[in-house]
Amino acid sequence: MPPYSECMSDKKVRVRFAPSPTGPLHLGGVRTALYNYLFARKHGGDFLLRIEDTDQTRYVPGAEEYIIESLKWLGIMYDEGPGKEGEFAPYRQSERKPMYRQYAEQLIESGHAYYAFDTTEELETMRVNLQKAGSSSPSYNFISRNSMKNSLTLPADEVQRRIDNGDPYVIRIKIPRNEEVHLEDLVRGVVVVNTNTLDDKVLFKSDGMPTYHLANIVDDYLMKITHVIRGEEWLPSAPTHVLLYRFLGWEADMPSFAHLPLILKPDGNGKLSKRDGDRLGFPVFPLQWTDPNSGEVSSGYRESGYFKEAVINILALLGWHPTDNQELFSLDELVEAFSLEKVSKAGAKFDFEKAKWFNREYLKSTPDKELAEAVKPYAIAGGADVSDEYLQGACRLMKERATFIKDVFEKGRYLFFAPSAYDENTLAKKWKPGTADFISQLLADLSTDEAFTGASLESRGKAWLEANKLGFGAIMPVFRVLLTGEGEGPAIFEICALLGKEEMKSRIESGLSVCKSKYE
Ligand code: GLU
């Protein structure tokens, strides 16, 4: 654990989730948003959503809306962001475009950045030459920049002429040679990087757009961000960010960093990808996503019948561990228990079976009335015409047997429709001479029950079995198949009570007439 605390200063905590709208939000991104949210709530701070859309070539229509809808579905509500403009608006970087140039120019004036005019071909030649010379990761850096076309190598008047001429250029950060950059990461402890391993990243392009690195630092500073909580894939960029804070004179306001561990695939090593989800049959996105170019549809947790609470719970525990072994947490409990100090450095393996377990737990604990509301769309789409009260009854019977919301309807279809086929295995094994008679007698006896509740039918049914010296396994399995078509399911007398007397009678009678000749 790092030797320092996650929240030492008395500044109001302000954190941000800063996705680029380049596609649907992956589970890893949702977890980043969640941890930011939990951290903000825990410390009484603000949680911002900032859309980092400076790279227009990677912009995907619909991605921003998707991100916002995902956060809304999960209840990860932001205090400031698109549609919730606060003091620091706008929250979309493309709308902040005019703000960035001055900082790129400030860096040039102070000698920490420079203009570079190299063409794509020239950059490619540089790479090839460096590779030939034995470099494994050729880059534009403190050595190679000296032989390229930039304001460090060209005379000042030529630089000016090129700019006035409208020649395309970029502005690059001038990484100092052989210095150690220290970074205190709240998850990883002290990280030290030698600047010789860094490249002169592009900060600004001649189209007037900053790149991610510049826009991100400028906005974090202007928006008074105190903690940068983001995925581990951004750790290699962090030393450059630390240098930018220093070069811009903002070191005193530099946020604390916390780089979250990767979410790993369930089997083998490596980051969890959409391909793993497709291969193993689970969603890696919160909501269903239709790719606007290919039309390809990727499944989502919401559409697959997950509770948002379960998804939150699953994600919270992917990389963070509570002090005790508690596994089920409400959002409020997570806010209470969460701390960056308990986030692990090691990648967290995604466990799909566990994800289903969480959903089952949530499903079981959801009140019937609420569950019925969630099941209703599936029931309607499936053509079931039942009252709310009936649906609640069906939920009560099926909730122990369902993993997903839609299972209540799909696995419990016989609660909504009379069977059209009968489980042959059970019938072949259990139907004995005389079974049909016994079933008719039992049906007649049950039909006299006034209360017609699960309990009253059960005591009546059991008394009848006893009086006829029959064990439960003698005819009840056949009774169940005639009633539901299936060999197993929830308590049989509860099913009778839910279906009601008339439906029970008509199902058993038509089941008997269909099956009797075949089995007796
Ligand atoms: N725009 C970056 C992303 O897409 C933000 C990284 C950060 O949080 O600094 O993840």
Q: Quick one: which atom of ligand 1 is closest to the CA of 32?
A: 8
Please report the DSSP string for 225-291 in residue order.
Answer: --EEEEEGGGGGGHHHHHHHHHHTT-GGGPPEEEEEPPEEPSSSSSB--HHHHHHHT--SBSS-EE-
CA 329 to centroid of chain Cα atoms: 16
Whether residues 273 and 306 fall in one domain: yes
- Cα 450 to middle of ligand 1, angstroms: 66
Whether 495 is covered by a domain: the verdict is: yes
Are residues 345 and 298 part of one domain? yes
Residue 234 · residue 161 · CB < 8 Å: no
Atom of ligand 1 nearest to the CA of 17: 8
Distance 230 CA to ligand 1 centre (A): 7
Q: Does residue 508 share a domain with residue 468?
A: yes
* Annotated catalytic residue 406: no
Q: How far apart, in Å, are the Cα atoms of 53 and each of 18, 58, 93?
A: 10, 8, 6
Contact 208, 54 (CB under 8 A): no
Residue 483: phi and psi, rounded to 5, are: -80, -40
Report the nearest-CA residue for atom 3 of ligand 1: 19
Q: Are residues 404 and 433 in the same domain?
A: no
Mutate to test the pocket of ligand 1, among 17, 52, 241 (most ligand atoms within 8 A of CB): 52
Pocket test for ligand 1, best of 26, 183, 212 (most atoms within 8 A of CB): 212
The predicted-structure confidence for 108-137, as pLDDT tens digits, reads as follows 999 999 999 999 999 999 999 999 999 988
Strand partners for 16:
48
Which of 55, 216, 226, 241 is the best mutation target for the ligand 1 pocket, counting ligand atoms within 8 Å of the beta carbon and taking the most?
216
Residues 321 and 406 in one domain: no
Residues with C-beta less than 6 Å from any ligand 1 atom: 18-20, 52, 212, 216, 228, 230, 234
User: Does residue 380 share a domain with residue 353?
Assistant: no
Residues 6+ apart with CB under 8 A from 381: none
Confidence (pLDDT) at 241: 98
Q: Ligand 1 mean position to 259 CA, how many Å?
A: 11
Three-class HEC string of 470-509: CCHHHHHHHHHHHHHCCCCCCCHHHHHHHHCHHHHHHHHH
Report the C-alpha gap between 426 and 473 in whole angstroms: 11
Q: Ligand 1: distance of its center to the CA of 52 in Å?
A: 7
Summarize pLDDT for 325-353 with one digit per residue, the tens. Answer: 899 999 999 999 999 999 999 999 999 99
User: Does residue 174 form part of some domain?
Assistant: no
**Backbone region of residue 261 per phi and psi (left: phi > 0; alpha: psi in -120 to 50; beta: other values):** beta
pTM of the complete model beyond 0.85? yes
Is the per-residue pLDDT at 3 higher than 50? Answer: no
- 354 and 373 part of one domain: no
CA of 262 to the centre of ligand 1 (A): 14
Helix (H, G, I), strand (E, B) or coil at 180: strand
- pLDDT reading at 1 higher than 50: no
Given a contact cutoff of 8 angstroms between Cβ atoms, the answer to whether 213 and 237 are in contact is yes
Q: Which one of the listed residues 224, 274, 342, 505 is annotated catalytic?
A: 274
Point out the ligand 1 atom lying closest to the alpha carbon of residue 18.
5
With pLDDT > 90 as the criterion, what percentage of the chain qualifies?
A: 92
**Domain annotation covers residue 390:** yes
**Residue 392 is part of a domain; what is its CATH number?**
1.10.8.70
Q: How many domains does the chain have?
A: 3
Provide the β-strand partners of residue 260: 231
Indicate whether 328 and 395 sit together in one domain: no
Index of the ligand 1 atom closest to the CA of residue 228:
8
CA-to-CA dists, residue 79 to 16, 37, 87, 486, angstroms: 10, 10, 11, 51
- Looking at the structure, tell me whether residues 379 and 328 fall in a common domain: no
| Per-residue pLDDT at 4 | 53
Q: To test the ligand 1 pocket, which listed residue (17, 20, 183, 228) has its Cβ within 8 A of the most ligand atoms?
A: 20
- Side-chain-side CA neighbours of residue 58 (13 Å): 13
From the list 7, 44, 81, 20, the residue with the least C-alpha distance to 258 is 7
Count of CB atoms situated within 10 Å of the CB of 293: 7
For 69-110, what is each residue's pLDDT tens digit? 999 999 999 999 999 999 999 999 999 999 999 999 999 999
Share above pLDDT 70 across residues of the chain, in percent, rounded to a whole number = 99
Termini Cα distance of the chain: 72
Q: Taking 60 as the threshold, does the pLDDT of residue 387 lie above it?
A: yes
pLDDT at 10 over 70: yes
DSSP notation for 318-346: TTB--SS------HHHHHHH--GGGB-SS
**Residue 305 covered by a domain:** yes
Cα distances (angstroms) measured from residue 31 to each of 19, 357, 445: 12, 19, 57
> Which amino acid residue places its CA nearest to atom 10 of ligand 1?
19
454 CA from centroid of ligand 1 (Å): 56
| pLDDT tens-digit readout, 261-312 | 999 999 878 999 999 988 888 999 999 999 999 999 999 999 998 999 999 9
Residue among 345, 343, 342, 341 nearest 4 (CA): 341
Arithmetic mean of pLDDT, 470-494: 97
What type of residue sits at position 138? P
Query: Are residue 463 and residue 377 in the same domain, yes or no?
Result: no
Question: Can you tell me which atom of ligand 1 is nearest the CA of 216?
Answer: 9
pLDDT band (50, 70, 90) for residue 7 = low
On whether both 281 and 354 belong to a single domain, the answer is yes
Residue 60, pLDDT > 80, answer yes
How does DSSP classify residue 24? S
Q: Within a domain: residue 298?
A: yes
Distance between CA 490 and CA 37 in Å, rounded? 41
**Residue 445 and residue 436 in contact, taking contact as beta carbons nearer than 8 Å:** no
Burial pattern 304-343, b for ≥16 Cβ within 10 A else e, equals: ebbbbbbbbbbbbbbbbebeeeeeebebeebbebbbbeeb
Mean pLDDT of 405-412: 95
Q: Is 339 part of a structural domain of the chain?
A: yes
Ligand 1, atom 5, lies closest to the CA of 18
Ligand 1 centroid–CA 331 distance in Å is: 24
- Predicted confidence (pLDDT) at residue 498 exceeds the cutoff of 50: yes
Q: Give the residue-averaged pLDDT of 224-253.
A: 97
| Furthest-apart CA atoms within the chain: distance in Å | 110
In the predicted model, what is the mean pLDDT of the chain?
95
- Identify which of 24, 31, 34 has the alpha carbon closest to the alpha carbon of residue 67: 24
Torsion of CA 82, 57, 265, 16, to 10 degrees: -30
Containing structural domain, residue 431:
424-519
Distance CA 7, CA 237 (A): 23
Count how many residues are written for the chain. Answer: 520
Do 287 and 260 meet the contact criterion of CB atoms below 8 Å apart? Answer: no
Q: Kindly report, residue by residue over 430-471, the tens digit of the pLDDT.
A: 999 999 999 999 999 999 999 999 999 999 999 999 999 999
Joined tokens for residue 385: 């015409």
CATH number at residue 436: 1.10.10.350
Overall average pLDDT of the 474-497 stretch: 97
The answer on pLDDT for 2 being more than 60 is: no
Tell me, what CATH number does 351's domain have?
1.10.1160.10
Predicted pLDDT at 268? 78
The whole-number pLDDT of residue 9 equals 72
Shared-domain flag, residues 384 and 303: no
Q: Map residue 185 onto helix, strand or coil.
A: strand
Whether residue 77 lies inside any domain: the answer is: no
Cβ atoms of 298 and 24 within 8 Å: the answer is yes
67 C-alpha to ligand 1 centroid (Å): 13
